[in-house]
Chain A
Amino acid sequence: MTALYESQRAMRAMRKAAMQRGVIAILDVGTSKIACLVLRFDGPERFRDGDGVGSMAGQSSFRVIGAATTRSRGVRFGEIEAMHETERGIRTAVQAAQKMAEVRVDHVIACIGGGEPRSYGLAGAIDLDGQAVSEQDVARVLASCDVPDFGPGREVLHAQPVNFALDHRSGLRDPRGQIGNRLACDMHLLTIDGTVIRNILHCVKRCDLELAGLASSAYVSGVSSLVEDEQELGAACVDMGGGATGLSIFIKKHMIYADSVRLGGDHVTSDISKGLQVPLAIAERIKTVHGGVVATSMDDREMIELGGETGDWEHDRRTVSRAELIGIMRPRVEEILEEVRARLDAAGFEYLPSQQIVLTGGASQIPGLDGLAPKILGQQVRIGRPLRVQGLPQAASDSAFSSAVGLCLFAAHPQDEWWDFEIPTDRYPVRSLRRAVKWFKDNW
C-alpha cells in the first residue's frame, strides 16, 4: 500500500513537472486502436479572449497540438497480451503525434480499460472535540477508513474521497474550517490487476517515456462524455470499446462505481467473421459500413457483397442481405447491453435520483443502437460524444476517442485522490520534524 502511494505521489510530481514544461502526452492503449494526443499547457486561459466564464467551462487551459492513432496489436480485453507488439504500436502512435506537434514529449498519462476493475466503498470517522476541521483532521479521517482485503496482486488505481459528513450534515465538499464533533468521510476505491499496470508501465518505459499518471478508462470516458448536470444528478457512462465495455457511475461529480464487461466490438466482428465465413478484416469493414441492430423490411432487399480473395469464384461472389448481418450482430450487442444492465443492477443504479445512461466508445456508433439500448437499459439512454477540446482534429473527435479526450481533461483538472492529501502526523516517522511541530501545537 505504501509503495503504491509512493509511486502515485511520484507520478503526481512528474505530472506537475510536465505541466511546468508545458507539454504532456495522452496515451490510450485500447483493444482496437492506440491513440496518442500531445497537449500543450500555456497557463490558465491562454487561448481565450474576452471575459466571463471561459470557453468549455474553463477547460481550455490546454490545447491539443498533436494527434495520432494506429491499429492496436497485442491487446485483448484492454490488457496487454504481447508486450513487444504493443510497444511497437505505442512507438508508432507517439512518433506520429510528436511529428505533428513538432515537439518531443517525455511524460505520458495513460488509461487502462481492462484489468477487471473492482469498486469498494470505504467509510471512516473520527472525533473532533468541537474544534475546527484542519487539514490534519482530513488526513486522519481518510486514514481511518478501513481498507478491505482486495486480495493479492491487485493495485489501487483510484481512491477518491466522495463525501464528507460533519455531525448530522452530509454532502460537504470541503469540511475544512467548519466546527463539529464528528467528521466522517466516504471514499471510493478502485482496484485493478497489478500485472496490467506493470505491463503498461514496462511498455511506456521501453518507449523512453515517463508515466505521469494512470486512470481507469471507464472513469475518464465518463468525465468527457457526461455533461455537468448528468455528473451532478447521477448517470452511468458505458464506454463500449473494442475488447471491453467499461461502465462508470457518477453522482455529485464523483465517480462512485466502476466496472467493466469483457465484451466489446471485436466480439461482434468475430461473430460476423464466423457467421459469414469471411476474414476478420472484411468482417470489420462490413460491420462498419453496413452494420446495424434494428432490421427493417428494406434490409431484406439490400444485398451486401462479401468479396474475398480465395480464388474460389463461388466463394468470393457470395452476397448476404443486410437483415442477415443484423441478425448476426444484434444478439451480441444485446448480450453486451444485458451484461451492462446486470452490472448496473448489482451496483444499485436504480436507487439513484436520475438514471441517465450515456453510451459512448467506438461500438456505440452502430446504427440503430439508440433504438435497441432503451429496450434493455431503460428509457433514459443517449449516445454520447466527448467534449470538444481545443485543437483536436475532426478525425479524433468521435465517440471512439471519449477516453482519450477524458484523459486530457483528467490531465488538466485531476480529481483529488487519497495521496494528494496530507499524511497524518502519527504516520510519520518518529523523528520527523512535523511530528514535533504537531506536539508543540497540541501542548501550547
Chain B
Amino acid sequence: MRSLIPQLSRGDRADPAPSRLAYRLNRLLLTPLFHRSLRIGLPLCILAISVAVVALSPERRETVALWVEDVKLSVQQRPEFMVKLMAIDGASDRVAEAIREIVPVHFPVSSFDLDLPAMQRTIAGLDAVARADLRIRPGGILQVRVSERMPVVVWRQRGRIEMLDVTGQRVATLDARTDRPDLPLIAGRGAQQLVDEALELVAAARPLDDRLRGLVRVGERRWDVMLEDDRRILLPEVSPVRALEQVLALHQAQEILDRDVELVDMRNPRRPTVRLAQAAAENLRRIKQIEMGVRTE
C-alpha cells in the first residue's frame, strides 16, 4: 500500500534501491561489448570527427599547417639548437680554406637546417681529403675533423704535374716538379693505377738514388726506370722488382751502369741485354779489329 502522504519519520533513510532506469543503465555499462565500445570507440569517434572537420575545409587545413610550421620554427630557432661557427681539425690552411669555400653555410644557423650527411659527402669529395667526420658539438659548434691524403708520388701526364697518394688518388696539382723534389716521379698512361708497385720499385732502386730520374709506364703494361743521361732500364711485366734487383746486382758486380751503356733490357729476365752507346760501340769494334789484325783506314 502506498501511503498518500509521504512519511519521512526520523531515522528513516532514503531508499537505497536504484530506480529501474538506473539499474538498466548500470547493467548496460557492465556489458563487455558496450563498455569496450564506450571506452575505445567513443574517443576514436571524437578524434575522427575532429580530424574530418579540419580536413574538409581548405582554410582550416591551411591554418593548421601554418600553425604547425610556426611551432616547428619556434622550436628550431631556440638558442640551444643554433650553430654559430665551424671548427676544422686536421686540415692544412689551404684545405681548410677550400672546405669553408665549398660548404655554403651562413652562421648562425639552426642545427635542424644543417644536412650533415650531404656536407660530409661534399667535404669527402675534395681530392685532398681522405676522410671527414662532422658533428655538432654542444655549444653550437660544427666540428669538422678531416684527415688529409698523403701525397707519395708526382705524376706527370700530358703537361700536368699532379701529386698522387698510395691508392693513386689525385691529391693536388703542382705548378712545377721542383715544388716537391722529395717525391719520386712517375709518368705514362696507367701509371696512377699502380702507385704501390712504383713505390716498391723506387724503394728497390735506392742504391742508385742520385741517378734515378723517374719511372715510366710503357704501353700500360710494364715499367721503364729512367736514369740520368737518358739511360734506361727496361723491366718485365711480371715481377719487375726482382728484375731491377738483378740489374743492381750486376751493377754491383761489374759496375754495368757506370759504363757507357744506353739501355739495359730486362724484358726477358733470363737474358739481360745491354745496348752500348754509339761511341762505345765504335770503339769496341775498333779494338776488336786491332785484336784480329785487320787494318783499318
A residues lining the B interface (CB < 8 Å): 70, 88-89, 91-92, 94-95, 98-99, 102-104, 207-208, 281, 309
Contact = CB atoms under 8 A, between A and B. Distances in A.
Among B17, B20, B24, find the residue whose CB has the most chain A CB atoms closer than 10 A: B17
A207 B30 contact: no
A63 to B, nearest CB: 18
Nearest to A279: B11
Interface in B76-101: none
B178 interface: no
Nearest to A89: B17
Contact of B15 (A88, A99, A309): A88
Nearest to B35: A104
Given A102-B30, A281-B11, A309-B11, A92 B18 contact: yes
B26 interface: yes
Contacts of A103: 30
B267 to A, nearest CB: 92
Contact of B17 (A91, A98, A309): A91
Nearest to A85: B17
A104 B27 contact: yes
Contacts of A98: 26-27, 30
Nearest to B22: A95
B262 to A, nearest CB: 104
Nearest to B1: A82
Contacts of B18: 91-92, 95
Most chain A CB atoms below 10 A, which of B10, B24, B26, B31: B26
B110 to A, nearest CB: 53
Contacts of B32: 104
Contacts of B26: 95, 98-99
Contacts of B24: 208
Contacts of A309: 10-11
B67 interface: no
23 contacts: A70-B16, A88-B17, A91-B18, A91-B23, A92-B16, A92-B17, A92-B18, A94-B23, A95-B18, A95-B26, A95-B27, A98-B26, A98-B30, A99-B26, A103-B30, A104-B27, A104-B31, A207-B23, A208-B23, A208-B24, A208-B27, A281-B11, A309-B10
A104 B15 contact: no
Nearest to A82: B1
Contacts of A94: 23
A281 B13 CA distance: 13
A208 B27 CA distance: 9
A104 B17 contact: no
Q: Which 8 A-B pairs have the closest CB atoms?
A: A88-B17, A104-B30, A92-B17, A91-B23, A104-B27, A104-B31, A95-B18, A91-B17
A279 to B, nearest CB: 9
A95 B31 contact: no
A433 B27 CA distance: 43
Contacts of B31: 104
A98 to B, nearest CB: 6
A95 B23 contact: yes
Contacts of B23: 91, 94-95, 207-208
Nearest to B31: A104
Contacts of B16: 70, 92
A281 B32 CA distance: 41
Interface string B26-66: 11001110000000000000000000000000000000000
Nearest to A281: B11
A55 B24 CA distance: 38
Contacts of A92: 16-18
A39 to B, nearest CB: 16
